[in-house]
């Protein structure tokens, strides 16, 4: 018996992966981006874990409520970005997909 030859598929380059990703529909790109961001360590490294920033934003919103938006105005894919930005692995279950065809 002869030796078995194993061939590995060549790795895709970042440019190739980026081109494939950019060819996806917007909602699928958002999901992919959220999954990629969710795979990274949390970017929030404040000593107080962001409490001061949250309090500042809350005070800003209280002073000017027009800065906010309703739940209806919130793009459902934004939930993924919010979760990923705070180090939470995005979940399909956290988004109401009405109107997106899912």
pLDDT tens string, the chain, 102 residues long: the values are 555 666 666 778 888 889 999 999 998 998 898 888 878 776 656 677 778 888 998 999 899 988 887 777 777 677 767 776 776 665 655 554 444 443
Is residue 86 situated within a structural domain? yes
Question: Which residue's structure tokens are 């409520």?
Answer: 65
Range list of H helices, 1-102:
14-22, 26-38, 51-63, 78-85
Is residue 75 situated within a structural domain? yes
Is residue 9 situated within a structural domain? no
| Residue 92 DSSP label | G
Number of structural domains (the chain) is: 1
Is residue 21 situated within a structural domain? no
pLDDT of residue 63: 94
Is residue 18 situated within a structural domain? no
Question: Which residue's structure tokens are 């909602």?
Answer: 27
Is residue 33 situated within a structural domain? yes
pLDDT of residue 66: 87
Is residue 102 situated within a structural domain? no
Q: Give one word for 44, left, alpha or beta, with left for phi > 0 and alpha for psi -120 to 50.
A: beta
Domain that holds residue 75: 26-94
Is residue 69 situated within a structural domain? yes
pTM: 0.37
């Amino acid at each position: 018996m002869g030796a078995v030859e194993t061939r590995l598929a060549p790795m895709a380059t970042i440019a190739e992966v980026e081109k494939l990703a950019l060819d996806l529909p917007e909602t699928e790109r958002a999901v992919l981006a959220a999954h990629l961001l969710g795979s990274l360590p949390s970017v929030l490294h404040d000593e107080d874990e962001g409490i001061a920033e949250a309090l500042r934003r809350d005070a800003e919103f209280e002073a000017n409520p027009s800065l906010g938006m309703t739940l209806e105005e919130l793009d459902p894919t934004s939930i993924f970005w919010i979760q990923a930005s705070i180090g939470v692995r995005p979940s399909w279950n956290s988004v109401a997909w009405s109107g997106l065809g899912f």
